[in-house]
Amino acid sequence: MASMSLIAYRVRKSPILFIVVPIFVLFCVFQLVFSSGNNVLGLSDDIMNHQWADQSEKTFYFPYTKKYKMPKYSYKKVSSWLFNDKVDDLIPEGHIAHYDLNKLKSTSNALVNKERVLILTPMQTFHQQYWNNLLSLTYPRALIELGFIIPRTASGDAALQKLESAVREVQTGKQDKRFAKITILRQASQSFDRLGEKDRHALEVQKERRAAMALARNELLFSTIGPHTSWILWLDADIVETPVTVIQDLTSHNKPVLAANVYQKFYDKDQKKESIRPYDFNNWAESEIGLKLAQQLGDNEIIVEGYSEIATYRPLMAHFYDANGATNSLMELDGVGGGCTLVKAEVHRDGAMFTNFPFYHLIETEAFAKMAKRLGYSVFGLPNYLVYHIEE
C-alpha cells in the first residue's frame, strides 16, 4: 500500500506529464483532422474550395429579390464527429422545386395569364435610348426578366459600366418598379465586338461576325432561360424605339416565332424633314432563285441577305411596309433577324438555336428560323409593325 501511495503521489506531482499529455492529445487531434484529404466535417477539398458560377465565370447577377436567394445548406454528422468523416447533406425545405413544363403555356393572353417574358440583348454599346424604351414598356416588370451578354473588350467594359449603373438604379428603387431578375454575362470566347460600326456590315466579314454573334446568343439563351419562361423577346441593343405595348402586341398573335419590322428614322436632307427607311433585311421569305443559288454553293458557304453581290430576289419584309396597312397584318417568313423577334420558349427548348456554322447555307438568326421550321414551327413577321434602330 505504501508503494502504491508513493506512485500515486509521484504521478500527481510530475510536471512532465502535465506538459506531455496535452501535447500528445493535440497531436492526435491534428493528425485526425488535417492529415487526410478530407477535414473533420466530412467536406472534400473541392467543396471547401467551391466557387459559385458567378464567381468562377466572373458573371454578374442582379436579382435584388428574396425569391432568388438560395437557402443555405446545413450539415449533420451521422455518427461520432471525431471518428467519422461522412456527412449527410440536409437540403433545406423548399430547396428542391418541381416544374411541370406541360402546364407552362404561351398564349395570346400573356398579360392576363401572367406569363413570364425573358428579354435577351447582346450588347456591345449601351444606348440610353434603348434603356429608356425598355423602362417605358407597360408589361408588368414583375413578369419580365432581362438578360445581357457583353463582350470582354474595351467598348464592352464601357457598356457594362453604364448598364450596371442603370440596372442598380432600377433594381434598388421601388419594389413594384423592379424587374423580376436581371442577368449580365461577359463573353470571354470569340467576341462579337471586334469590328467598327461601318466595318461590321461588310459582306466579307459576315460569316465570321455572325458566327461570333450566334455563339453569344446561344450562351445568353442557355444561361438565362428558366422553367417558368413562357416567351423570349430578342431585342437588339440598337433598337431604341418600340410601341410601349410591344410585348402584349406580339404575344397576342400567339405565333411560335414572330418578327417586327425594323426601320430607322433619319433626317432627309432632300425633303428637309425626318423620314424613315428600312433597316433590317434579315426578315425574308424564300425564293426559287435563292434555293437554286444555295444548291450551287459548297458545304461551308452561306447566303447573306441584303447585299447586292448576292441576288436572291427573296421577298424582304422590310419592303412590304404599308403606312396605311393594318399593324396586325402577318407575312409568312423563312428567315428572321434578331432586332425585335418574339419566340415561344418551347421553340428554343425543342432545340432551335443559333448556328455558328452553315445550316442549309444560313447562319445565326436566319439559320434559327430555318431550324424552327424544320422542327415544325411556323415563322411569321409583321410588315406594318415598326420598331426603330438607332440612327448611325
The tens-digit pLDDT sequence of the chain (392 residues) is 444 433 333 444 455 555 555 666 666 656 655 554 444 444 445 444 555 444 554 554 454 444 445 445 444 444 444 445 454 555 566 667 778 888 899 999 999 999 999 999 999 999 999 999 999 999 999 999 999 999 998 899 999 999 999 999 999 999 999 999 999 999 875 555 554 444 555 666 778 889 999 999 999 999 999 999 999 999 999 999 999 999 999 999 999 999 999 999 999 988 889 999 999 999 999 999 999 988 988 888 888 876 667 788 999 999 999 999 999 999 999 999 999 999 999 999 999 999 999 999 999 999 999 999 999 999 999 999 999 999 97
The pLDDT assigned to 31 comes to: 60
DSSP 284: B
- Rounded to whole angstroms, the Cα distance separating 245 from 250 reads 9
Q: How many angstroms separate the most distant Cα atoms in the chain?
A: 125
Query: Are the C-beta atoms of 123 and 237 separated by less than 8 Å?
Result: yes
Residues across the chain? 392
Report the relative pairing of strands 273-278 and 379-389 from DSSP bridges: unpaired
- Rounded to whole angstroms, the Cα distance separating 51 from 166 reads 27
Residue 259, C-beta contacts closer than 8 angstroms, at least 6 positions apart:
283, 317, 333, 336, 337, 339, 340, 341, 342, 379, 380, 381, 382
- Rounded to whole angstroms, the Cα distance separating 334 from 373 reads 8
Provide, for the chain, the percentages of residues in helix, strand and coil under a 3-state DSSP scheme, each rounded to the nearest 5: 35, 25, 40
- Rounded to whole angstroms, the Cα distance separating 65 from 280 reads 37
Q: Which amino acid is at 331?
A: M
State the residue for C-alpha cell 510530475.
Answer: 14
The pLDDT assigned to 182 comes to: 97
Q: What angle do CA 200, 303, 328 make, to 5 degrees?
A: 85
Enter the pTM of the model.
0.75
The pLDDT assigned to 96 comes to: 72
